[in-house]
Amino acid sequence: MLTIKDLLQIKSIDGMRIIAGEQGINNVVSIVNIMENPDAFDWLTPNELLLSTGYIFKDNEELQNRIIKELAEINCSGLCIKMHRYFDVIPQNMIDLANQYGLPLLALPFEYTLSKVIAIINEKASGRYDLLNRKSLDMHNSLFRIALEGGGIDRISAELSDNINNPILFLDRDWNLLHYTEVKDNPIPLASCLHLVRNRPVFTKEFTDTIPRNISQIKKSVKRIYHSKGREIKCRILPVAVANYIYGYIIVWQTMRELTEFDYIVLEQSSTILALERIRAREIEEVKLTIRQDFFDDLLTGKLTSIDSIQPLCDLHGINANYMYYCMVITIEPDVLGSLEDMVVRKYEQDQIAKKCVDLVYEHASSANGEIMCFYRNNRVIVLVGQNEFRPTITISEAKQFADELYETLLAKVKKTAFSVGIGRQYKTITSLHKSFSEAHEAIRLMHKFDGKGAVSHFEDYSIYHFLESNIKASELEDFFLKRLGKVHEHDLSFGTSFMTTLDRYFSHNQNVSEAAKALFIHRNTFIYRIDKIKEILGTDLKHSEELLQIQLALKIYKLLQKEG
């Protein structure tokens, strides 16, 4: 084991002397490196001796102080400065801080090259590498055995925490909590500073934004300070990555003791094992998801028709087969996807947005007047709202109220994204759920067709149009329209009148002349005059119920033919 004290006795680098920080003279030296980059702190490890000419900090007292503080906090062995290149004497502020932190500050004679010093020290330190290699191999075998036995991330996390004697958090690639291991007598308990809810963010966005985007390429842990309730907590963040793809992060809540060189080796080995564990867990989840998707696909396409066959599948996937259900479909149209050329990246971003929407649906589940089951397919979120069969049927207005609240929340929380919400009718049995699913899609299609924009619509809002379009040929629809309202339409075309619009407002306001006139921004007498002219053209008094029904149907057909034309 090579120490700073041993370095001073090496004849081949005679003249090296300690200037400050003699409290750390027994610091172990395991590796030597050159520091000529002020951004290199994220790359440093404990027991590392740094050599420098001093160029990067020769005219910067603030950086000089920061370097001493950072190296001490990382548990580096010391800092050795080559003299008479940029420094004839080492600055007093560096000496004072080195003494304060116990960081050995060494002076190297001018005649030695940094590369030669590195070669000499590494040769002397090689014996320690053999010991570390043996210890790290034992640790690797222990962690690998846990993984093979199916111990999962909880046992791996517990083993890691026990070895480095600090609390551990394991987060997914989006910084959501997967697992954590607390340590007895932790002076700053995790729960006192962090929101420890599984699958939810643990740290603030301001904190995670400070992590380098290329952290998977660094392949080492980085140090960050987390501020909470006036306290500064030192954290070590290590990516769990394979081939630069990040599966998550290991966070060391460094409140018990400083990390040693061996601790960093253990962290890196744990990262590899956890990456394999995440790959295995993801494959299992994908199989489960495929089975789940197949079930819901069969349910929503009407392939499952027997309640006896549906019941065990519903029990397996957490849905009550005895409830009454209606279906809601939410289409998602993010602006950002259009600018992404890579299909994999585009699919990932689409899934992330859909997952966020699913979370928002569950947050509003309490106002749905029923139990929620929610999942996503590509750019659609599908919501099933179930209700006990003995409760009153959910009304159209209640279903739309829930959808309206959800729509406003989605617009507010998911920026630069357009949504359309379609609602199907409620059915007594789950075997009819596919009808509600189809109706929800049809509600969106007809809403876009007639209104040209996304919002919220119930199938009943457009059911008459659906009936006419689905069951009667276009030529028959046109013939019906011409027989009932053809003369009024021809009059509008010939004389520039707006009798068709007048008639539509007349019926949409329940034949209330005053309200209809107000909607058209014309005088009541003008509206009455128009109605009288329409009566004259049609040769009717607009009082016979059968005739009124036919005229209203003709108006619906007129709108349908206009949109198709």
Helix, strand or coil, per DSSP, at residue 397: helix
Edge-first strand listing for the sheet containing 105-108: 17-20, 105-108, 78-82, 48-52, 31-34
Distance CA 143, CA 101 (A): 35
Position 200 pLDDT exceeds 70: yes
Paired tokens of 143: 């962690």
Beta strand ranges found along 84-230 (DSSP E): 105-108, 168-172, 177-181, 222-228
Phi/psi of residue 428, nearest 5 degrees: -70, -35
Closest CA to 21 of 89, 88, 85, 75: 75
Beta bridge partners of 170: 179, 250
Q: Which residue has the higher pLDDT, 125 or 343?
A: 343
Position 323 pLDDT exceeds 80: yes
pLDDT band at 268 (very low <50, low <70, confident <90, very high): confident
Closest CA to 143 of 242, 270, 260, 249: 270
Closest CA to 388 of 428, 359, 350, 351: 428
pLDDT band at 126 (very low <50, low <70, confident <90, very high): low
* 26-38 per-residue burial string, b: 16 or more CB within 10 A, e: under 16: ebbbbbbbebeee
pLDDT digits (tens, 9 = 90+) for 406-432: 999 999 998 888 999 999 999 998 999
Residue 2: Cβ-neighbour burial (10 angstroms; 0-12, 13-18, 19+): buried
> Quick one: pLDDT at residue 218?
62
Which residues touch 132 (CB under 8 Å, ≥6 apart)?
30, 261, 262, 265
Using an 8 Å Cβ cutoff, are 405 and 367 in contact? Answer: yes
Distance CA 408, CA 527 (A): 37
Phi/psi of residue 432, nearest 5 degrees: -100, 5
Paired tokens of 482: 């011409």
- DSSP-assigned states of every residue in 71-124: HHHHT--EEEEETTTS-SS--HHHHHHHHHHT--EEEE-TTS-HHHHHHHHHHH
pLDDT digits (tens, 9 = 90+) for 57-93: 988 999 999 999 989 888 889 999 999 889 999 999 9
Rg, C-alpha atoms of the chain: 36
Residue type, 301: T
Phi/psi of residue 111, nearest 5 degrees: -75, -10
Closest CA to 279 of 390, 153, 174: 153
- DSSP-assigned states of every residue in 25-36: TT-B--EEEE--
pLDDT band at 350 (very low <50, low <70, confident <90, very high): confident
Which residues touch 99 (CB under 8 Å, ≥6 apart)?
20, 21, 22, 23
Kindly state the average pLDDT of the residues 382-411: 90
Other CB atoms within 10 Å distance of the CB of residue 215: 19
Kindly state the average pLDDT of the residues 434-452: 89
Residue 562: Cβ-neighbour burial (10 angstroms; 0-12, 13-18, 19+): exposed
Paired tokens of 111: 């005649």
Which residues touch 285 (CB under 8 Å, ≥6 apart)?
none
**125-139, 151-165, 405-419, 475-489 — which is least confidently predicted?**
125-139
Question: How would you classify the pairing of strands 324-334 and 168-172?
Answer: unpaired
pLDDT band at 448 (very low <50, low <70, confident <90, very high): confident
Helix, strand or coil, per DSSP, at residue 134: helix
Distance CA 55, CA 48 (A): 20
Kindly state the average pLDDT of the residues 240-249: 82
Position 127 pLDDT exceeds 60: no
Task: State the chain's maximal CA–CA distance in angstroms.
Answer: 121
> Quick one: pLDDT at residue 157?
83
Using an 8 Å Cβ cutoff, are 71 and 42 in contact? Answer: no
Q: Which residue has the higher pLDDT, 38 or 233?
A: 233
Distance CA 563, CA 558 (A): 9
Position 264 pLDDT exceeds 70: yes
Distance CA 168, CA 270 (A): 11
pTM: 0.53
Paired tokens of 526: 């003008």
> Quick one: pLDDT at residue 25?
92
Distance CA 405, CA 419 (A): 13
